[in-house]
Structure 1
Amino acid sequence: MQIEETETGPLEVWTPAEVEAALEKGEIAVIDVRTPQEFMFEHIEGALLMPMSGFRADRLPSQDGKRLLFYCGSSIRSGKMAQKAMAAGLTPVAHLEGGFANWKAAKMPYIGTDMASGAPKKVTP
């Protein structure tokens, strides 16, 4: 994990392997800040959707011992939304280094779309 210094304080930046391990242990809640269309096409399994366009830190799930981890396509939007969450008093929060593109490049599993039927399907590269 790296730490990025931001205007709202230190922000954790996690690698895909760190996110996958924490997901398996139930230590994080993953928040996808992309558009609903991006999410429907492919997303990290178990992620919750809160698009940047309607982002409200006061409507995020309770942390109850879990860190909130944000992601988007490239990590630009997720970094901004993580900082918004921190500005609203939520800590600790983190975001995925390189976003979903980096997740896929690291060959992590995700939910994709079966192009023949349009149905969701688990993709295990």
Structure 2
Amino acid sequence: MNLFRLFRHPKHLKDLTPAEVAALSHATQPPVLLDVRTTAEFRLGHVGGALSFPLGHEDAIITNFSATQKVVLICKTGHRSQAAAASLFAAGFVDVSHLKKGMDQWRREGRPVTREN
């Protein structure tokens, strides 16, 4: 598998800032926030309301969510979310965004995180 191809930015993927993700999460019809980091990373801190679907488990996303749902993908730096987005677009998802620069940027901006025990 070509790793460059796996992690390149999909053409239709929308980049969102932490401020945009925070605003969307409080919208009347918020998107589904999906964190594609490892379960251990997720437990250490994630965006409130996000669900854990580690990279490589896109089939579970495809099974559990409609391809027409608005989806925001989150990872540590933005690279894994790009890879997950490519899989979702290939499966017919049409409204996929990601947190540009990931949780690293979220934390740099001092935004709140939720922790799991």
TM-score, length of structure 1 as denominator length: 0.77
**% identical equivalent positions:** 30
**1:110 and 1:41 mapped to 2: Cα distance?**
9
Is 1:36 aligned to residue 39 of structure 2? yes
Unpaired segments ≥5 residues, structure 2: 1-7
Match of 2:66 among 62, 69, 91: 62
Q: Which residue of 1 aligns with 2:24?
A: 22
| C-alpha displacement of 1:108 | 1.2
One-letter amino acid matched to 1:21 = A
Q: CA RMSD in A?
A: 2.0
Instruction: Show structure 1 runs of 4+ deviating over 6 A.
Output: none
Structure 2 residue aligned with 1:122: none
Structure with the higher fraction of residues in helix conformation: 2
What is the CA-CA distance between 1:63 and the residue it aligns to? 6.1
- Distance in 1, Cα, partners of 2:26 & 2:72: 14
Relative to its length, the structure with more strand (as a share) is 1
Residues paired across the two proteins, number: 108
- TM-score (ref. length: structure 2): 0.82
Which residue of 1 is the match for residue 80 of structure 2? 77
Q: State the shift of 1:96 in Å.
A: 0.5
- SS of residue matched to 1:70: strand
Cα offset, 1:46, TM superposition: 0.6
Of structures 1 and 2, the one scoring higher in RCO (CA 8 A, sep 6+) is 2
Mark the structure with the bigger radius of gyration: 1
Structure 1: 5+ residue runs without aligned partners?
114-118, 120-125
Residue 41 and residue 88 in structure 1: after superposition, are their counterparts in 2 closer, same or farther (change >3 A)?
Answer: same
Pairing 1:89-100 to 2, within 5 Å after superposition: 89-100=92-103
- Letter of the structure 1 residue corresponding to residue 25 of structure 2: L
